[in-house]
């Protein structure tokens, strides 16, 4: 669901910003940052890009079918009146 590579990139950027003398602390900080970010991001009500793309295609097909049905209803209404 969550792109692990992006989380790792964010954690790495945070780690690189820490002075060299604190690298051991930075490693622990990086691990804890990854854990917290993954946990918090997984709590968000989001969908993956793939799920979004699938639903977009479903919506497009549904709209096409709706347009066809609306046209047929209009034709039937025209015949009745």
Same-domain status, 20 and 58: no
Q: Give tens-digit pLDDT for 38-78.
A: 888 888 888 888 999 999 999 999 999 999 999 999 999 99
Report which listed range, 11-15, 32-36, 41-45, 62-66, is most confident: 62-66
Q: Domain count of the chain?
A: 2
Report whether 29 contacts 17 (CB < 8 A). Answer: no
Torsion sign across C-alpha atoms 28, 34, 36, 39: negative
Same-domain status, 33 and 57: no
pLDDT at residue 14 greater than cutoff 90: no
**Domain extent at residue 36:** 1-46
| Structure tokens given for 18 | 């820490």
């Amino acid at each position: 669901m969550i792109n692990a590579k992006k989380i790792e990139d964010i954690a790495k950027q945070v780690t690189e910003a820490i002075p060299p003398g604190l690298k051991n602390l930075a490693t622990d900080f990086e691990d804890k940052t990854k854990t917290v970010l993954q946990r918090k991001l997984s709590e968000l009500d989001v969908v993956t890009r793939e799920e979004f793309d699938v639903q977009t295609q479903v919506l497009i097909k549904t709209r096409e079918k709706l347009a066809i049905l609306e046209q047929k209803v209009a034709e039937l209404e025209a015949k009745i009146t």
